[in-house]
Amino acid sequence: MCLQSSVLLLAALFFFSACNKRQGKDFDTHESKETTLQSEQATIKESEQLAAQIESQLILFAQQIISGALPDSLSDNKEWSQFSNRFINSSEQSRTVKVSVFEIRHAESTVQTVSRIEMKARLKNQNYFGLITQFKSSWSKNEDGQLKVLEIGNPEQTVLNESPILWFSDETDRLTTTEPAFTEHLSMGLDFWLKRIESIHGIDAFINNGMALGDFDGDGRDDIYVCQPGGLPNRLFLHQTDNTIQEAPKKTGANYLDHTSSALFIDIDNDGDQDLTLATPSGIVLLENDKHQSFIERGILQTDEVDCHSLSATDFDMDGNLDLLITFALGSQSLDDDSLFRFDDARDGGSNQLFRGDGKWSFSEVTALSGLSEGNDRHSLAASWHDYDLDGDPDLYIANDYGQNQLYRNDVRDGSRFFSEIANEIGIEDRGAGMSVSWADYNRDGLPDLYVGNMYSNAGKRITGLSGFMPKNKELTKHYRRFAKGNTLFKQQKNGAFIDSGSATTMGRWAWSSVFADLNNDGWEDLIVANGYISGPRPDDL
Amino acid sequence: MPLGNSGIGPGLDGSDPARQLQEYVRRGASFSGSEAHVIFNNVEGLFKNVSSITGLDSKDDGRSVCFTDWDLDGDLDIWISNRNGPQIRFFQNSNPSGGHGLNIHLSGKSCNRDAIGARVILKARDKLPQTRTVTAGSGFLAQSSKTLHFGLAKEEIIEKIEIFWPGNKSQIISNIVPGNYHIEQGSEPIAFKVRSKGIEKDPNPFQKTFNDRTFLSQRLPLTAFFGRPPEAKNKPLLICLTVEDCKVCAVQTKEWEASPPTGVHLQLISESTLALSDPEKLRIIQLTYDHFFDVSEREIPTPISFLIDQKNRLCVIYRGHIDQDLLLEDCMNINIDGSQLRSRSVPFIGLWASKHISSARPLDFVEDLLDAGLLDQAANYINKEVNSLKEDELFPMLLKRFEALKSDRAVP
């Protein structure tokens, strides 16, 4: 099921490499399965063990920089010394270090790596200081198996930041402390509830649940609706005058217990208040806002699949009634027929569905009629509508896990609306582990640009970069590398085609929501990437 | 519902790495965990990683990101939903740039009322244009505010804004300064007013307070493993597993020594004794506990107790100390079914869109026993529950698997 966005083959490789790094003893590997992987695993296994050792050596090195005690061999190095000087006298408790090796090459007796060190600390002048730098290093193995550093190269591609105040402060506690739904439920996290709620209610270790902002009570301020897995109620929190939140009373009728992947506040009946729609395995639940006081259920739009993900609204036919698109990752056929699954080009996903609003709470399913059934068999995690070609109607971009993404251009054919899939034509297919879509004109040239969230994985980059990785199939190797590469920023050109506008924004880590917003009021839209896949109670990581 | 099943095909060699990976995570491992959020600052079209100085670098396995000017001070604040606790976080923007903001809430007249799809272009003196679009659903599983936000550097002077209403003529507004506005299609902006609504708070928001037990929605027969002494014939059976060096176990045992739990027949089992006398039974207790949940406990919480009804079906699992009143209440409700049972099986009250109510599937439990290699116990269970198992369409396949495993074992 929803191993969405964990790239299968890489996942397999990480899995086995992780078994080698792992410290615990309660995990049984399956001997027979391990041995059948032997031919490729031997180098990967060895390589991953080395990478882990090198990472721990580099952490020591980073700690030396940050504490101002550079190793002798580097004390004459101008750039490392300069960095180190900045950190001297920084407050010890404020120091954090993260190290990652993302390229590893094996020569006869040495190992070459490309690594990244991220460090931050609070300086003597109270400024927040951060440093990210990439550098090469080479290593050899002593006879006793211990690693020895031969050379640490000069820092390259360095990003330095300093700021007297942080851009954001975490005010969660202040806003939520008086709210029992927060303290008794949401403060716990998924792992807590996984052990207390039966999985048949629709809760599992890989489940994802979203959130929506909208003004439910008509006071002019956005309220917040938090989606939850099956067996836990979704929560509607009302925005109070002091900016804290307070849960809407039970009689509001917002506490659905079905797994809800996403929700939207929209005015479906155009009567001036915010109705609510929910994506659930039973279909799209339609809730009418009744006098800003409560919701009345106005039916459920039945869907063909159950592994629902994104919900988005638009008026694609410009008739004044909002239309709804729901995406699905797994399809019912995914469960029966494994042969359809290809991790670089999966075609066994659930079909997304478009419901056209006809007014008065009536909807028609128009997926096939509107041309959206073209290529509608992928694992679609996210979708967003945007008039990318500025012709006056909204077009649709869908981000798919395990394969290429889609752009459906909104056309008029024989007097009615029809979608043409043209992602390849305009260069935004972005084959990868798509998880998120955001549109904006980030360079202010008037043309909409696109940022697509994808998985970035150090381990994936290391493994797919090994010369022994799948030597027989160069084409496939390229695709696999792409899967670990990370996010993509697409800049639209004047001719309507898009170009990948560089590497500065790829390393968003695991990358879920990856979205544009002007965070510092300079008129230029920045990017924020929400992160982390699964932080389990055990410290070892894949 | 396929949630919880591996639909992912075989890996490199015909094994199922995805399933193994899931198992790995279910046992508590991390997978790209503890990764901080990343923020790229757009500096005139070029991006720079500023994560370390934003204060946004929490590590809760973030999922959706929603923007809104929550405190109406001119900059965008952020709500992030997470997999880990707390499942929502609020980040207040301290806007170190000192710039201003323009917030515009649109409402359509001859287009959809939310003006979804409307594009607004702001032109400030000597600056490149800024474009924003009203959107419902973007990023990953997220809906940000439909109020559009424009950042304005200090001293910036707005020349005009142009609104492209969906399917309609555009509208130009030329005399506007930073602030919060509502604009109805065809009308001039009006200053945005916040009204007080004062919806009353629930006096008792949790009619059912959370207890650390699961009142199961499924009724799994366990006659094969937990015998019932004659004196317990008409009472529910409470089986409690205790371990040494467990304070709660000691407290609980002492309490029951002083005053035995009413309404049930209590069987106290000591883990250390059971480990010697019947280690397979200990595994079965662990398996039974894990059967219902999508994670495996690394250790069984102790004491752990099973409440088993008069028909020898498992009804409630208790973790830790059991409150006597709660036990009585559970015994009184032991025979409820349908939607009543479903409501009672979850920790908080709420509504269900789904009308389908799942029931126990003993066949899955036998699969668990087979997975664990407990063939004799599986045979025992099949023997005792053959009537209900027969009703499952997959029963012939289960028997096939069982026979195959048995003959595997027979051949050394």
pLDDT-based confidence at residue A334 (cuts at 50, 70, 90): low
Residue range A122-134: mean pLDDT, rounded: 92
Instruction: Inspect the interface and report whether the beta carbons of B39 and A529 lie closer than 8 Å.
Output: yes
pLDDT of amino acid B267: 94
Q: To the nearest whole angstrom, how far is the Cα of B300 from the nearest Cα of chain A?
A: 11
pLDDT of amino acid A39: 38
Chain A with chain B: Cβ pairs closer than 8 A: 667
State both tokens at B99.
């710039």
Answer yes or no: is pLDDT of A268 > 70.
yes
- Give chain B positions within 8 Å (CB) of A403: none
Answer yes or no: is pLDDT of A145 > 70.
yes
Interchain contact B3–A (C-beta under 8 A) = yes
Residue range A37-44: mean pLDDT, rounded: 47
pLDDT of amino acid A471: 55
Q: Residues A456, A461, A466, CA angle at the centre, nearest 5°?
A: 170
In chain B, positions 231-270, which contact chain A (CB-CB < 8 Å)? none
Instruction: Inspect the interface and report whether the beta carbons of A523 and B149 lie closer than 8 Å.
Output: no
Residue range B319-323: mean pLDDT, rounded: 92
- For chain A, the farthest-separated pair of C-alpha atoms sits apart, in whole angstroms, at 78
Q: Which of A36, A41, A187, A195 to mutate to test the interface with B (most CBs of B within 10 A)?
A: A195
Q: To the nearest whole angstrom, how far is the Cα of B231 from the nearest Cα of chain A?
A: 32
pLDDT of amino acid A26: 29
pLDDT in tens, A410-429: 999 999 999 999 999 999 98
Q: Which of A217, A314, A521 sits opposite B152 (nearest CB)?
A: A521
Cβ proximity of A265 and A305 under 8 Å? no
Cβ proximity of A216 and A236 under 8 Å? yes
Share of chain A above pLDDT 90, in %: 60
Cα(A115)–Cα(B403) distance, integer angstroms: 53
pLDDT in tens, B136-195: 999 999 999 999 999 998 889 999 999 999 998 999 999 999 999 999 999 999 998 888
- Give chain A positions within 8 Å (CB) of B136: 264-266, 312-314, 322
- Give chain A positions within 8 Å (CB) of B114: 266-267, 322
- Give chain B positions within 8 Å (CB) of A209: 63, 81, 141
Q: In this structure, is the dihedral angle defined by the CA atoms of residues A435, A440, A443 and A445, taken in order, positive or negative?
A: positive
Cβ proximity of A6 and B13 under 8 Å? no
- Give chain A positions within 8 Å (CB) of B90: 170-172, 175-176
Instruction: Inspect the interface and report whether the beta carbons of B52 and A176 lie closer than 8 Å.
Output: no
Please count the other Cβ atoms lying within 10 Å of the Cβ belonging to residue A121.
25
pLDDT of amino acid B209: 52
Answer yes or no: is pLDDT of B7 > 50.
no
Instruction: Look at the block and give the residue holding tokens 């609204």.
Output: A313
- Give chain B positions within 8 Å (CB) of A500: none
Answer yes or no: is pLDDT of B389 > 60.
yes
Give the H or E element holding residue B339.
Answer: helix B338-344
Interchain contact A157–B (C-beta under 8 A) = no
Which DSSP symbol is given to B168? S
Q: Which of A166, A212, A253 sits opposite B55 (nearest CB)?
A: A166
Instruction: Look at the block and give the residue holding tokens 């990683």.
Output: B49
Of the segments A117-121, A294-298, A451-455, B289-293, which one has the largest average pLDDT value?
A294-298
Answer yes or no: is pLDDT of A467 > 70.
no
Q: Which of A18, A168, A385 sits opposite B78 (nearest CB)?
A: A168
In chain B, positions 129-188, which contact chain A (CB-CB < 8 Å)? 129-131, 133, 135-147, 149-153, 156, 164, 166-167
pLDDT in tens, B271-310: 999 999 999 999 999 999 999 998 876 677 889 999 999 9
State both tokens at A159.
């990003």
- Give chain A positions within 8 Å (CB) of B119: 387
Nearest CA in chain B to A210: B141
Instruction: Look at the block and give the residue holding tokens 């550079």.
Output: A70
pLDDT of amino acid B360: 87
Interchain contact B338–A (C-beta under 8 A) = no
Q: To the nearest whole angstrom, how far is the Cα of A126 from the nearest Cα of chain B?
A: 12
- Give chain B positions within 8 Å (CB) of A382: 139-141
pLDDT in tens, A166-177: 999 999 999 998
Check residues A266 and A157 and name the one with the higher pLDDT: A266
pLDDT in tens, B10-63: 333 334 555 666 677 777 777 767 778 889 999 999 999 998 899 887 778 889
Cβ proximity of A420 and A409 under 8 Å? yes
Interchain contact B349–A (C-beta under 8 A) = yes
Expressed in angstroms, the distance from the first to the final Cα of chain B is 40
Residue range A483-504: mean pLDDT, rounded: 89
Instruction: Look at the block and give the residue holding tokens 């074992």.
Output: B409
Task: Confirm whether pTM is higher than 0.80.
Answer: yes
pLDDT-based confidence at residue B229 (cuts at 50, 70, 90): confident
Q: Which of B100, B210, B352 sits opposite A257 (nearest CB)?
A: B352
Question: Which of these, A431, A336, A327, lies nearest to A385 by C-alpha position?
Answer: A327
Residue range B235-254: mean pLDDT, rounded: 94
DSSP string, A457-523: -HHHHHHHHSTTSSTT-HHHHHHHHHHHH--EEEEEPTTS-EEE--STTT--TT-SSEEEE-SSSSS
Interchain contact A525–B (C-beta under 8 A) = yes
Cβ proximity of B392 and B361 under 8 Å? yes
Answer yes or no: is pLDDT of A468 > 90.
no
Residue range A77-82: mean pLDDT, rounded: 91
Please count the other Cβ atoms lying within 10 Å of the Cβ belonging to residue A116.
18
Instruction: Inspect the interface and report whether the beta carbons of A521 and B95 lie closer than 8 Å.
Output: yes
Check residues B201 and B303 and name the one with the higher pLDDT: B303
State both tokens at A289.
């806002």
Check residues B26 and A12 and name the one with the higher pLDDT: B26
pLDDT-based confidence at residue B252 (cuts at 50, 70, 90): very high
Interchain contact A504–B (C-beta under 8 A) = yes
Instruction: Inspect the interface and report whether the beta carbons of A232 and B152 lie closer than 8 Å.
Output: no
Share of chain A above pLDDT 70, in %: 84
Give the full edge-to-edge strand order of the sheet including B77-82: A168-170, B88-93, B77-82, B62-68
Instruction: Inspect the interface and report whether the beta carbons of B92 and A168 lie closer than 8 Å.
Output: yes
- Give chain B positions within 8 Å (CB) of A507: 38, 49
Quote the crossing angle between the two packed helices A8-21 and B17-26, to the nearest 10°.
50
Amino acid at B344: R
pLDDT in tens, A359-397: 999 999 999 999 999 899 999 999 999 999 999 999 999
Answer yes or no: is pLDDT of A481 > 80.
no
pLDDT of amino acid A539: 55
What are the backbone dihedrals phi and psi of residue B9, each rounded to the nearest 5 degrees, phi first?
A: -75, -175
Cβ proximity of B43 and A524 under 8 Å? yes
pLDDT of amino acid A278: 98
In chain A, positions 342-401, which contact chain B (CB-CB < 8 Å)? 348, 381-387, 392-394
Cβ proximity of B314 and B288 under 8 Å? yes
Region of A231 on the Ramachandran plot (φ > 0 left; ψ -120 to 50 alpha; else beta):
left
Answer yes or no: is pLDDT of A476 > 80.
no
Answer yes or no: is pLDDT of A279 > 80.
yes
Share of chain B above pLDDT 90, in %: 70
Instruction: Inspect the interface and report whether the beta carbons of A243 and B71 lie closer than 8 Å.
Output: yes
pLDDT of amino acid A338: 58
Instruction: Inspect the interface and report whether the beta carbons of B47 and A527 lie closer than 8 Å.
Output: yes
State both tokens at A431.
């084959």
**Beta strand residue intervals within A275-378, DSSP E:** 275-280, 283-290, 294-301, 308-314, 323-328, 353-359, 362-365
Q: In this structure, is the dihedral angle defined by the CA atoms of residues A216, A217, A222 and A225, taken in order, positive or negative?
A: negative
Q: Which of B13, B23, B30, B32 to mutate to test the interface with A (most CBs of A within 10 A)?
A: B32
Q: Which of B48, B294, B319, B364 to mutate to test the interface with A (most CBs of A within 10 A)?
A: B294
Cα(B80)–Cα(B86) distance, integer angstroms: 10
Please count the other Cβ atoms lying within 10 Å of the Cβ belonging to residue A465.
18
Q: To the nearest whole angstrom, how far is the Cα of A143 from the nearest Cα of chain B?
A: 33
Nearest CA in chain A to B86: A187
- Cα distances from A64 to residues A68, A90, A134, A158, in angstroms, run 6, 13, 17, 18
Nearest CA in chain B to A224: B79
Answer yes or no: is pLDDT of A486 > 50.
yes
Average pLDDT, chain B: 88
Cα(B393)–Cα(B361) distance, integer angstroms: 11
DSSP string, A408-455: EEEEEETTEEEEEE-TTTTT----B---EEEEE-TT-SSS-EEEEE--
Cα(A40)–Cα(A48) distance, integer angstroms: 12
Cα(A102)–Cα(A55) distance, integer angstroms: 10
Q: Which of A6, A282, A437 sits opposite B353 (nearest CB)?
A: A282
The DSSP bridge partners found for residue A353 are A326
- Give chain B positions within 8 Å (CB) of A201: 217, 345-346, 358
pLDDT-based confidence at residue A8 (cuts at 50, 70, 90): very low
